[in-house]
Amino acid sequence: MRNTIAKQLRAIIRPEKNPVNKRVYRRAKKQYSKLPEHARRDYIQGLREFYEQVESKQRRESVVEEQS
């Protein structure tokens, strides 16, 4: 795996946040390396979209908790 791909995955998953994200990052790297060439871009794009949704949902929940 190229260093640039690892950097992209780290930017998306952020393994330094907690131990769970660290495990997810390792799994994502393994899954990425097993994929055929034509599916790799889609995999990274899917991860990016998924984590954007998760983060936006967490932000909404934290705002609701602060307002209560």
Binned average pLDDT, 10 residues per bin, the chain of 68 residues? 92 93 96 96 96 89 74
pLDDT at 68: 63
Q: What is the Cα–Cα distance from 60 to 63, expressed in whole angstroms?
A: 5
State the DSSP H helix or E strand holding residue 23, giving kind and residue range, or none if neither.
helix 19-34
pTM assigned to the model = 0.81
User: Cα angle vertex 17, ends 14, 19, to 5°?
Assistant: 100
pLDDT at 64: 72
